[in-house]
Amino acid sequence: MSSTRTVIVGAGIVGLCTAYELLQQGRDVVVLDRESTLDGASAGNAGLFSIGHAPLTKPGASWRGLRWMLDSRSPLWIRPSLSPALLRWLWTFHNHCTPEHLERATRTLCALGWRTVQALERILDLEGIDCFYRRCGWMDLILDERNLDAAQREGRALARYGYRTDRISGNELRRRDGAYRDEVAGAIHYLDSAIVHPGLLLRGLLAAVRTRGGSVRLGCDVAGFERAHDGRCVGARLRNGEVIEGSSVVLAAGIWSDPLASQLGIALPMQAARGYHVQLEGTGILPRNGGVMHETFVAFNPMGSQLRLAGTLEIGPTGRPWMRKRLDALTTAARRYLHGIDQAHITAEWAGYRPCTADGMPLVGPVPTIPGLFVGTGHAMMGLVLGPVTGRILCADICGTRHEIDPELLDCMRPHRLRTSRAA
């Protein structure tokens, strides 16, 4: 076994970006994924590379969520349950929906934003990955005139971190782009962000990792981990008994990271937030930008000749049957904002899971109690955009080099600290 080999569990955006960065540092990697085709959250998401995006834990979000709980068509829906893990998560979530937490989280996320664009654009340049990446910003499309001022204030709050936004009237919007309906009152344009086809990006990353000498093994279900006598994590064990050895292991298995970590006595408490997408062909006219339809939280993204509509946040256990009415809500929402929805036909439908922590921030970094083990998960609705910088941070952690990111809000041990302080 190579003494610098890293075993990475999960070939989503986080696992593949970490693998790529490690290869760039001359390390050896093997990435394991239990699926034989990569069509999980990292491929099926909305494709908004929205830097500076706020976390879920906005002030008022917990009360809004509670109200929406009664309406299974609402953008955020929590499957009613008395599971202690869910109740604990909801309570912690509620306690983090404060202006102070939002301020701290925004500072960290905005700092990560510039670095993640740089990390992704470097990969795209070096590898020539064609994934419809365009640095055209994203549009917050607004129907109700009364929502425009608040949305503008939200955008302007990012100005102190160097992020630019522009308020555009409905008429000006339609003058620039004929895809928007007359009902749209205006938009806030987040100018520094980008849009991308996430499936093509993931495929390109996978090919790049292989081309650069890394191994990506699909159809390999990781069942547990190998530990050395001194407690160090030295590999992953597959369900068929095969052991893949390494000098370090990265757990980047999305929402499935928690059950895997629990085998090592580590808690990564997260809730799965299922979302859906529909892909439309034949709208006649495609918007030039991607964005979000403000009142419905549904995202849209033109991908080649097709339009992807993605969204809804459904908190509950994985593996339940799809909820048709939530999937249908995507096209219903888009009809009010965009032309051509009714005449288009659906070419694909999809569902996947966002891994959501209770404080809205990812879990990234080394596990101090288990040398050799590193974690990269919990990115909720920001995994595509934060994947490249997460790869850089984990690579620096594994190689023992410095990075400039303040690790406090990303620390993967903070759920432990929270529990310990509560118990005390």
Ligand X SMILES: Cc1cc2nc3c(=O)[nH]c(=O)nc-3n(C[C@H](O)[C@H](O)[C@H](O)COP(=O)(O)OP(=O)(O)OC[C@H]3O[C@@H](n4cnc5c(N)ncnc54)[C@H](O)[C@@H]3O)c2cc1C
**CB closer to ligand X out of 174 and 295:** 295
Sequence-distant (6+) residues with CB within 8 A of 19 are 6, 8, 29, 31, 209, 214, 216, 391
| # residues near ligand X by CB under 6 A | 42
Q: How far is the CB of 85 from ligand X (least distance, A)?
A: 18
Q: Which stretch binds ligand X (CB under 6 A): 179-187, 207-215, 316-324, 350-358?
A: 350-358
Can you say whether the dihedral through the CA atoms of 274, 117, 388, 348 is positive or negative? positive
Which residues in 248-262 are b (16+ Cβ under 10 Å) and which e? Answer: bbbbbbbbbbbebbe
CA atoms within 13 A on the CB side of 410: 24
Map residues 255-284 to x or -, x wherever contact with ligand X holds by CB under 6 A. Answer: -x---x--------------x-x-------
Q: How far is the CB of 347 from ligand X (least distance, A)?
A: 17
Q: Is 361 one of the binding residues for ligand X (CB under 6 A)?
A: no
Q: Is 113 one of the binding residues for ligand X (CB under 6 A)?
A: no
Map residues 281-320 to x or -, x wherever contact with ligand X holds by CB under 6 A. Answer: ------------------x----------xx---------
Can you say whether the dihedral through the CA atoms of 75, 80, 81, 84 is positive or negative? positive
Q: Is 384 one of the binding residues for ligand X (CB under 6 A)?
A: yes
Pick the closest to residue 198 from 16, 41, 25 (CA basis). Answer: 41
Cα distance between residue 132 and residue 113, in whole Å = 20
Structure tokens at 280: 């439309």
Please select the residue that binds ligand X; options are 27, 101, 115, 379, rule is CB under 6 A. 379
Q: Which stretch binds ligand X (CB under 6 A): 41-49, 166-174, 177-185, 326-334?
A: 41-49
Please select the residue that binds ligand X; options are 7, 8, 12, 148, rule is CB under 6 A. 12
Residue 172 to residues 59, 166, 181, 210, Cα–Cα distance (Å): 32, 12, 12, 46
Cα distance between residue 39 and residue 42, in whole Å = 7
Which 155-194 positions form the footprint of ligand X (CB under 6 A)? none
Q: Is 394 one of the binding residues for ligand X (CB under 6 A)?
A: no
Please select the residue that binds ligand X; options are 7, 8, 14, 234, rule is CB under 6 A. 14
3-state secondary structure of 376: strand
Residue 193 main-chain phi, psi, to 5 deg: -85, 180
Cα distance between residue 176 and residue 155, in whole Å = 21
Q: Is 140 one of the binding residues for ligand X (CB under 6 A)?
A: no
**CB closer to ligand X out of 55 and 186:** 55
The binding site for ligand X (CB under 6 A) comprises: 9-15, 32-35, 38, 40-42, 45-48, 221-222, 252-254, 256, 260, 275, 277, 299, 310-311, 352, 354-355, 377, 379-385
